[in-house]
């Protein structure tokens, strides 16, 4: 098997920076001629000893464990196994090839160094200078003049200054960027009314209809669109045209800035194009996946994916294998994505690390105000609020609470956000964020979960008779799904528990408090409340990776409503796959299932109570209790007042 696997690069002791992999590579457009080793050395020297450096080392250790686990699995494959998986791969390739669609023409447009270009347009004196939009803490965008030195987005400003001593900094102005983005989108709409933007400066357009109706080529549309954008905004953009969205995005990056690349709608042209394409150029293949594919199987290009298809089928899940093989074949999305209802809304802010509680609560107040404004603009109300924290040591934590009803105002958001933050203090933080999910979607909720009828109030006395009460709030049990506070309870009475403390079952039913463990590397998260056996937190990372192979089998025996990630990236409830590096998306996916579960429990709980009420009423109407028995004093016992409720209901 040694011949089929890749080998890690030489990491001599005299060049320790070669083993220090960060996101600051030269993959960005305009950085092709940069001395990558020099940039890597500078980043290593300036990061060494910092909390960020320590966190990156932990992430690298986790990646090594994954790679070693895959190598061990690969070494166990016999010749019969490889023959079997080769047949599986060939069948998959045939199935995928049959789905190839060459009838659509997709255009991906990307504004050139958007933020920096806008600032230069507003201030012509900046033209030709190495410019960075951001601060010494973080760079949002770098001009092409700055990229020649290795400066890029998502890089700390002090490292940018080390690489480029003459770097000029400009503070971001998002209102200005939004204005220019809207001008560009008006142009996009002329060519595709259903275009969809992935950010302020990127968009996908289906130009098939335009090409057919006007009898022009994709190349002519791209040139015309770029000229119109420049005329309307004064800015330049680059474009890529291809049969699907995946390749169109790659094409738009080839001739940047202010250029375009056209790939014909021809199978041979597509397969030839992707054959030599580095896998890192493909959206969805990041730093960790690239290392795994290269160091385990020696895969660096898309063509090599097809050559090692059998090993991919043996080592990865079906969904991941299908994705890799689609990349190798040059297949991507061709249909316009359907409009999906928003699942969550969030905002976050990065700042200098501080443990000043007053300053942290001030930043939390600003976040709540921004989130409330954004939600009210779209007429949204939500129930699940998640607080994201990044410590000074770059560990990421999330805390979540579910409100009794749907909220959208700043005041209501702060009620829960403050309690979540107070439970974590004292703590030094460098980032905070708020996310609202489990939306209702209407301005007024006439069926508020806290709105109880008199009949429901009476019958709930039996359900809650044995439950604990905290701060005067009455909670239902977990099986009943009654997770709402008593009417007489104020919002402040609903306490928020910590995942590390012992809490009653009724509190767990009322508030979902998911703790994302900061596994070294920050890319892997474990939900204590969701994953089976999560109470045992002493398992080593090696043991966890050793259990990956048996994770699917154990997952099948778990509770049907229990959510966890099989193999670390497959949703146990719906089979949806999200790699561990997609922290935001994974948390939103978990929130979605939480909301789905709460709604299901509400429905089941209401139906069960209604059925119970009807069954309780039937015997009363056919076999009424004799008055003599009620009036009998021979028993010598008082009749509980609760026994009169069914009779009162009957009269009503």
Q: What is the DSSP string of 206-250?
A: E-HHHHHHHT--HHHHHHHHHHHHHHHHS--EEEEEESSHHHHHH
User: What whole-number distance in Å separates Cα of residue 29 and Cα of residue 601?
Assistant: 50
**Which residues make Cβ contacts (< 8 Å) with residue 518, sequence separation at least 6?**
391, 395, 396, 397
Contact 241, 219 (CB under 8 A): yes
269 token code pair: 């042209």
Q: Work out the burial of residue 155: count CB atoms within 10 Å of its CB; fewer than 13 is exposed, 13-18 middle, 19 or more buried.
A: buried
Rounded to 5°, the CA angle 307-313-314 comes to: 110
User: What whole-number distance in Å separates Cα of residue 194 and Cα of residue 189?
Assistant: 7
User: What whole-number distance in Å separates Cα of residue 48 and Cα of residue 56?
Assistant: 10
CB atoms within 10 A of CB 34: 19
Upper half-sphere CA count for residue 79 (Cβ side, 13 Å): 0
224 token code pair: 């015309």
User: What whole-number distance in Å separates Cα of residue 519 and Cα of residue 525?
Assistant: 6
CA 511 to chain centre: 21
Cα dihedral 260, 266, 267, 269 sign: negative
User: What whole-number distance in Å separates Cα of residue 499 and Cα of residue 566?
Assistant: 22
User: What whole-number distance in Å separates Cα of residue 409 and Cα of residue 149?
Assistant: 46
User: What whole-number distance in Å separates Cα of residue 240 and Cα of residue 261?
Assistant: 5
The total number of residues shown for the chain amounts to: 652
DSSP-derived letter for residue 5 is S
Contact 547, 486 (CB under 8 A): no
DSSP-derived letter for residue 436 is E
User: What whole-number distance in Å separates Cα of residue 442 and Cα of residue 609?
Assistant: 27
Contacts by residues 596-602 (CB-CB < 8 Å, ≥ 24 positions apart): 597/561, 598/383, 598/402, 598/438, 598/481, 598/483, 600/481, 601/480, 601/481, 601/483, 602/449, 602/481
The sheet carrying 131-134 orders its strands as 139-142, 131-134, 168-170
User: What whole-number distance in Å separates Cα of residue 535 and Cα of residue 537?
Assistant: 6
Catalytic residues: 202
Q: Work out the burial of residue 505: count CB atoms within 10 Å of its CB; fewer than 13 is exposed, 13-18 middle, 19 or more buried.
A: middle
Contact 147, 134 (CB under 8 A): no
* Helix ranges (DSSP H) in 99-171: 114-122, 144-147, 157-163
Helix (H, G, I), strand (E, B) or coil at 97: helix
């Amino acid at each position: 098997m040694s011949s089929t696997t890749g080998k890690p690069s030489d990491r001599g002791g005299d060049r320790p920076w070669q083993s220090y992999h960060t996101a600051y590579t030269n993959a960005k457009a305009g950085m092709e001629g940069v001395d990558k080793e020099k940039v890597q050395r500078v980043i290593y020297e300036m990061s060494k000893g910092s909390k960020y450096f320590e966190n990156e080392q932990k992430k690298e250790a986790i990646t090594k464990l994954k790679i070693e686990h895959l190598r061990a699995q690969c070494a166990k494959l016999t010749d019969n196994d490889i023959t079997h998986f080769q047949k599986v791969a060939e069948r998959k390739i045939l199935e995928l090839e049959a789905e190839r669609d060459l009838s659509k023409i997709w255009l991906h447009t990307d504004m050139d160094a958007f933020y920096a270009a806008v600032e230069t347009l507003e201030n012509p004196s900046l033209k030709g200078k190495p410019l960075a939009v951001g601060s010494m803490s973080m760079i949002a965008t770098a001009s092409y003049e700055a990229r020649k030195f290795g400066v890029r987005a998502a890089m700390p400003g002090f490292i940018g200054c080390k690489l480029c001593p003459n770097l000029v900094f400009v503070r971001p102005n998002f209102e200005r960027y939004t204005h220019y983005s809207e001008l560009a989108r008006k142009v996009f709409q002329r060519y595709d009314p259903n275009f969809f933007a992935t950010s302020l400066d990127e968009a996908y357009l289906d130009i098939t209809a335009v090409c057919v109706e006007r009898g022009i080529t994709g190349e002519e549309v791209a040139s015309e669109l770029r000229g119109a954008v420049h005329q309307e905004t004064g800015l330049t953009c680059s474009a890529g045209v291809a049969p699907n969205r995946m390749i169109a995005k790659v094409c738009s990056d080839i001739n940047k800035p202010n250029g375009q690349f056209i790939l014909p709608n021809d199978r041979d042209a597509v397969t030839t194009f992707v054959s030599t394409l580095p896998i890192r150029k493909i959206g969805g293949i990041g730093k960790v996946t690239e290392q795994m594919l290269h160091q385990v199987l020696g895969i660096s290009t898309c063509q090599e994916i097809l050559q090692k298809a059998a090993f991919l089928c043996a080592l990865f899940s079906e969904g991941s294998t299908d994705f890799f093989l689609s990349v190798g074949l040059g297949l991507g999305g061709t249909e316009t994505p359907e409009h999906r209802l928003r699942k969550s809304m969030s905002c976050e802010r990065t700042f200098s690390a501080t443990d000043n509680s007053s300053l942290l609560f001030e930043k939390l107040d600003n976040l709540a105000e921004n989130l409330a404004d954004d939600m009210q603009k779209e007429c949204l109300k939500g129930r699940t609020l998640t607080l994201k924290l990044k410590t000074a040591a770059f560990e990421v934590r999330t805390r979540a609470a579910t409100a009794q009803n749907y909220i959208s105002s700043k005041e209501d958001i702060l009620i829960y956000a403050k309690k979540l933050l107070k439970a974590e203090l004292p703590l030094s933080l460098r980032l905070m964020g708020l996310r609202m999910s489990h939306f209702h979607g209407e301005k007024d909720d006439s069926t508020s979960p806290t709105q109880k009828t008199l009949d429901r109030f009476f019958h709930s006395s039996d359900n809650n008779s044995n439950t604990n009460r905290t701060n005067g709030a009455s909670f239902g049990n977990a099986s009943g799904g009654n997770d709402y506070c008593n009417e007489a309870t104020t919002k402040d009475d609903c306490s928020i528990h910590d995942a590390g403390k012992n809490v009653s079952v009724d509190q767990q039913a009322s508030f979902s408090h998911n703790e994302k463990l900061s596994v070294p590397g920050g890319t892997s998260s474990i939900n204590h409340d969701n994953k089976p056996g999560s109470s045992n937190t002493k398992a080593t990372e090696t043991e966890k990776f050793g259990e990956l192979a048996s994770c699917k089998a154990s997952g099948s025996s778990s509770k049907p409503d229990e959510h966890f990630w099989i193999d670390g990236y497959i949703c146990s409830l719906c089979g949806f796959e999200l790699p561990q590096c997609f922290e935001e998306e994974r948390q939103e996916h978990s929130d979605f299932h939480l909301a789905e579960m709460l709604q299901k429990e509400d429905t089941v709980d209401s139906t069960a109570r209604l059925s119970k009420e009807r069954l309780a009423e039937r015997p009363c109407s056919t076999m009424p209790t004799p008055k003599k028995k009620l009036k009998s004093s021979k028993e010598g016992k008082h009749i509980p007042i609760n026994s009169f409720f069914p009779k009162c209901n009957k009269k009503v």
